[in-house]
Structure 1
C-alpha cells in the first residue's frame, strides 16, 4: 500500500480505514461507481480537491487494488480511472453511510453536490414499498452527463447513458434536482421557474419522486 499510515489494529474495520479512510478517498470511489472517468471528470465531480491531492489519492487507491488506470484506444487515446471488482464492493458501504449521514441535523443541504453523489442518494433513499406498481424509465440530463433510471418490480436501476424510449426526460442541474429530491421545492415550482424541464410524462416524474421519502433527522444534541 502507498499509504504508510496505519491504525496498527487487526480489526478488519480498522484495516478498511487504512485503505479508504484518508480524506477524499471514499469520495473518489463514489465518483467512479457509475463507470470510468478521466482525471478532469473527477475534478469536476470534486471541485474542492486540488489536483495534487487527487493524484495522490488515485495513486494510493491503485496501490491498494481499489482503482485501476486504463488507457482508451483510438480515437480517444486518453486515460481513465475505474473501480476494480473489489472496489465496486464499496458501493453498499457508501449507500449505507449515506443513509446514516442523511439523518444528521447538521448537514448543509445548500452545499454543492455532484451528479454521482445524487445518484448514490437515490440508491440509498429508494423505498420499494413506496414505488408500488410503478414501471417506468427516465433519463436525467445534467448538461453532457446523461443518467438512465429504471423503476420496475420494486427495484431501482441506475446507469450512465441514455434509454431508447424513456417515459420522461428530465433536464436540470444537480442543485435543482437535489431541491425536488429532498422535498425542499415542489416539481411544479421548479417547472414553473424552468429550473427543471420535463419531456414526456410529468405524472411519472411525480411518482418517481414519491419513491424517496425523506428520513427524519435525529434530535439536535
Structure 2
C-alpha cells in the first residue's frame, strides 16, 4: 500500500509522514526500554489488531525506525528493536508525555493501563532525586531501571546490576508520581 503523505515541505509534516499513523508512536514507546517480541507488543498494546500491528511493524522497519531480528541464534521468534533513528524519537515521546500529563484526567473504566507506560514521567521524577546514576524501580510485578547521565535519561526492562537507588511502588503510587499528584521520595 503506498504511503500517504501530507505533501508539505515541512519537517513536522515529514516526521508525521513516517511516525504519524495511529499506533506508530506507541510501538516506539514499547520499544524504548529494549527489544520486544511480537507477542509482547501485541499484549501491551490493547486494542490493536494483529493485522495493524504487523503492518505498522513492517512500515517502521522500512523507515529504519526499528529492526526485526531473531530472539536467539536458532530461534524462530522475531525480536523487534529500535534503531538509532528510532531511539532518536525518545525526546519527542518525552515531550509528548510531559504535555499529555496535563491532559490525563481521571482514569476511565475503559482505560487500559500497564505499569511500564509510566516509564517516561517516572524517569523525570527519578532524575529529581538522583541527578546522575542508575535506579531500579519496581511497580508491582514490573521492574524497570533508569540510567541518568549528563546527556539524559534512558529506561530499560529489568533491574540495574548495581543501582544507586532502588524504589518500590504500587501502581497507584506510580500513577500519582507520574501525574505529579505525589513527589517521588527515596523511601518510595
TM-score w.r.t. the length of structure 1 is 0.68
Q: Which 5+ residue runs of structure 2 have no aligned equivalent?
A: none
Deviations 1:191-213 (A, max 9, x none): xxxxxxxxxxxx6234xxxxxxx
SS in 2 for 1:204: coil
Residue 40 to residue 121, structure 1, CA distance change in 2 (3 Å): same
Q: Which stretches in structure 1 are left out of the alignment for 5+ residues?
A: 188-202, 207-221
Aligned to 2:22: 23
C-alpha displacement at 1:38, in angstroms? 0.6
Distance across 2 between alignment mates of 1:10 and 1:40: 37
Please tell me whether the aligned partners of residues 3 and 60 of structure 1 are also in contact (alpha carbons under 8 angstroms).
no
Task: Flag the 1:25–1:15 CA change in 2: closer, same or farther, 3 A.
Answer: same
The Cα offsets for residues 111-162 of structure 1, whole Å up to 9 and x where unpaired, read as: 3333332102223x4385x53789773341543x421246689x75532222
CA apart distance, 1:182: 3.0
> Structure 2: how far apart are the matches of 1:146 and 1:90?
23
The answer (yes or no) to whether the contact 1:30–1:116 under 8 Å persists in 2 is: no
Contact 2:167-2:186 at 8 Å conserved across structures: no
Paired residue for 2:145?
148
Root-mean-square deviation (CA, aligned residues, Å) is: 3.2
Tell me the residue number matched to 1:62. 61
Aligned residues: 184
The structure with the largest alpha-carbon Rg is: 1
1:22 counterpart SS class:
coil
